[in-house]
Amino acid sequence: MVRAHYTVISALPCPSFSGVCQTGEDCVVHTTSLPYTGQKPTSGWCVRQWQRTIPSNYRANVNLGSNVNVFLFLWAGPSNQSNPLRLNQPPYCSLPPPLRACVNCPHHFPLMVKDLDGDTVLCRFAHADLGECLDCPQYNFLKMEEETCRLLYNGKSSAGQYSVQLMVEDFSRQTQTNKRKALSSIPLHLSLTVEEASSSCTAEPVTTGLTPTGGVTIYVLPYEQINVSVTFHSDLESVSEIVVVGPPGLFRTALDTKGSLATMNLTWIRSPNNLPPLLPLCFLANTNSLQSEPRCVWLYQRQMETFPTGTELTCGKTEMHLVLPISTLKNLIVSELQLNHPSCSVTSNSTHVMASISLTGCGTKRVHSGSEMVYTNTLRSVRNTVISRQPTLIMPIACRFPGVETKGPRYAINMPSEQETFGLVKFWLEFYRPGEGPMANRTKIPKFRHLLPSSQRVRRETSVRTASRLDTLDLHVFSNTSLDRAELMVGKCMESETEDMADSLCILDQGCSAGNGTLEILTSISTVRVYRINLSTIKTKGTMVCLSGHESLFRAPAEDSNMTVGVVLAVIHVLLQGLLHH
């Protein structure tokens, strides 16, 4: 038996998961309120993903809802021809979004494949006489470069939609590939839509900016947050959408277009899972009549060992405390151990290595994992020499704090996720001189709410004489939510002269002044906060000031309601590997 991970692309409307899992079967569906979708081809599409245990020699029809029915053949094992000491791992194949081409416009589509055993991977068309498909026509306008896994379209077809059924196979490097003794065969089904040409064949969007190179591997530690920025440039037609197929739970920002550039930011957090270590993430850009070359990267989940025996990690309210026996660090140089930020020291005695790690400093990162808040840092070996025979250490450290449970004597209250409550929300900061900017009518003659020190919890309105414009600056905090009764709350704001915030000063703490004379200007817009900062309290030595803020949304109760819901915005998580497309 093998664990199969499915990704199915279906025409809209998105099909249900009915018929995917049977009672008592080892099967898990990946439900999400934000499925991958696209508008091109014109019918539109969405992605469904699940995993289940199936026989290693598998032939069956896969049904998804009432609209998807596809025959699937898979052979995955067990084999140790490549390495007699371990079983073979089948190759990984990435699934791009639906492909588009134009009549009389030759095009090539690179397909990303990878084999962790180092085996040779080939791609070919499926054959009915081998039992790999029921209806798999061979098109004379398509060619597969088996060794490079590139699908070539020569442009000599009529407009229409074509199903392309492929097999991805791995071969031992010691075996002649022309003998067709594959260690495993994995299906990959693609959809190619050919449209009538309405513009230049060579004017398709191209990647630019910080977009990662195709095929690159991004290594991910436990609870690490990965940020990928994708930018396309298109001169002839504006980019209408950037579409993505990847692990479920990947957060995507709205498409941001500026002139000929279009950008989307992608964020993914690795949380505990039982999924394969290698996860594909594919994206491309569509215009009205053209499509960019698809590009895929790999998210590689580093396999980490458990803490050595005798290790103690204590999670406090403000710090993590690590104690590590030196006896477990064989052949490691203790003086080379370092946390995310070198300003936090790692000490040692004759028996143990010790570190006190601030939750808000030392390079500690905070991520949301389901209902938990997770603070992470990494203890690692850092060497000045480029080449060394000494072993290295990479030890992720994480403290997990469960969310507050809401309970009552006779009520069971389910707290909705931040996305279910507020949708896709962004926060941003802007600075203006007093009396300028979009809130000028409120900041010219301001009415202040005095922010008491954090030890005093009562707010009072006060009349305060404004300082000179040269001595003050107005910080505007915005949110794009349009939800009725939503209210923006600013929990903490820090300033620093460095981007890592290693040496920082608190301006606001839990919505209250940190003793620096910061004032809140009252506005009539609940999703905007304006703070007048006394610049004389910010003691900078250079010319750069960095700000870091923690913002959240609060939904005020309706007039006839006795309950409020407060949710801190987060990036949700879940992981998956793609396998199948119809």
Question: pLDDT tens for residues 16-28?
Answer: 888 788 888 888 8
Burial of 22 per CB tally in 10 Å (0-12, 13-18, 19+):
exposed
Q: Which of 136-140, 270-274, 555-559: highest mean pLDDT?
A: 136-140
How far apart are the C-alpha atoms of 480 and 425, rounded to whole Å?
6
Q: Is residue 145 predicted with pLDDT exceeding 90?
A: yes
Q: Which of 63-72, 103-112, 498-507: highest mean pLDDT?
A: 103-112
Give the range among 156-165, 317-326, 362-371 with minimum mean pLDDT: 362-371
Phi first, then psi: what are they for 292, rounded to 5°?
-75, 170
Q: Is residue 499 predicted with pLDDT exceeding 70?
A: no
Q: Please check whether residue 489 is in contact with residue 512, taking contact to mean a CB–CB distance below 8 angstroms.
A: no
Question: Which has the closest alpha carbon to 145: 193, 101, 113?
Answer: 113
Q: Report the greatest alpha carbon distance in the chain.
A: 87
Residue 307 tokens read as: 């803490």
Helix intervals (H) in 409-518: 418-422, 440-443
Average pLDDT of the residues in 435-456: 74
Q: Is residue 415 predicted with pLDDT exceeding 80?
A: no
- Confidence (pLDDT) at 412: 36
Q: How confident is the model at residue 162 (pLDDT cuts 50, 70, 90)?
A: very high
Average pLDDT of the residues in 475-500: 73
Q: Please check whether residue 565 is in contact with residue 415, taking contact to mean a CB–CB distance below 8 angstroms.
A: yes
Q: How confident is the model at residue 92 (pLDDT cuts 50, 70, 90)?
A: very high
Residue 59 tokens read as: 């032939």
- Confidence (pLDDT) at 362: 86
Residue 312 tokens read as: 């103690």
- Tell me which of 498 and 7 has the higher pLDDT: 7
Q: Which residues make up the CATH 2.60.40.3210 domain(s) of the chain?
A: 312-402
* Per-chain mean pLDDT for the chain: 78
Residue pLDDT, tens place only, 462-471:
333 444 446 8
How far apart are the C-alpha atoms of 22 and 19, rounded to whole Å?
7
- Confidence (pLDDT) at 413: 35
How many degrees, rounded to 5, is the angle at CA 266 between CA 261 and CA 269? Answer: 165
- Tell me which of 426 and 328 has the higher pLDDT: 328
How far apart are the C-alpha atoms of 65 and 113, rounded to whole Å?
29
- Confidence (pLDDT) at 101: 94
Residue 438 contacts by C-beta under 8 Å, 6 or more apart in sequence?
476
How far apart are the C-alpha atoms of 453 and 72, rounded to whole Å?
65
Q: Please check whether residue 525 is in contact with residue 456, taking contact to mean a CB–CB distance below 8 angstroms.
A: no
DSSP 135: S
Average pLDDT of the residues in 72-98: 79
Burial of 552 per CB tally in 10 Å (0-12, 13-18, 19+):
buried
Q: Which of 32-36, 171-175, 366-370: highest mean pLDDT?
A: 32-36
Q: Is residue 241 predicted with pLDDT exceeding 90?
A: yes
Percent of the chain with pLDDT over 70: 77
Q: Is residue 152 predicted with pLDDT exceeding 80?
A: yes
- Tell me which of 275 and 294 has the higher pLDDT: 294
Average pLDDT of the residues in 239-266: 91
Phi first, then psi: what are they for 178, rounded to 5°?
-75, -10
Q: How confident is the model at residue 451 (pLDDT cuts 50, 70, 90)?
A: low
Exposure of 229 in the CB half-sphere (CA atoms within 13 A): 8
How far is C-alpha 383 from the geometric centre of its chain's CA atoms?
30
Give the range among 424-438, 462-476, 557-571 with minimum mean pLDDT: 557-571
Architecture of domain 424-556: Sandwich (2.60)
Question: Which has the closest alpha carbon to 379: 365, 400, 397?
Answer: 397
Q: Which residues make up the CATH 2.60.40.4100 domain(s) of the chain?
A: 424-556
Residue 450 tokens read as: 């005095």
- Confidence (pLDDT) at 272: 78
Q: Is residue 400 predicted with pLDDT exceeding 60?
A: yes
What DSSP element (H or E) covers 234? none
Residue 396 tokens read as: 């992720």
DSSP 291: B
Give the range among 174-183, 438-447, 487-496, 553-562 with minimum mean pLDDT: 553-562
- Confidence (pLDDT) at 491: 67
Q: Please check whether residue 277 is in contact with residue 219, taking contact to mean a CB–CB distance below 8 angstroms.
A: no
- Confidence (pLDDT) at 466: 40
Kindly give the pairing relationship between strand 319-325 and strand 99-102: unpaired
3-state SS class at 470 = coil
Q: Assign a CATH topology to domain 203-303.
A: Immunoglobulin-like (2.60.40)
Q: How confident is the model at residue 560 (pLDDT cuts 50, 70, 90)?
A: very low
Q: Assign a CATH topology to domain 312-402.
A: Immunoglobulin-like (2.60.40)
Compute, in degrees rounded to 10, the torsion defined by CA atoms 67, 139, 182, 293.
-80
Q: What is the pTM of this model?
A: 0.65
Q: How confident is the model at residue 318 (pLDDT cuts 50, 70, 90)?
A: confident
Task: Tell which phi-psi region holds residue 331, choosing left (phi > 0), alpha (psi between -120 and 50) or beta.
Answer: left
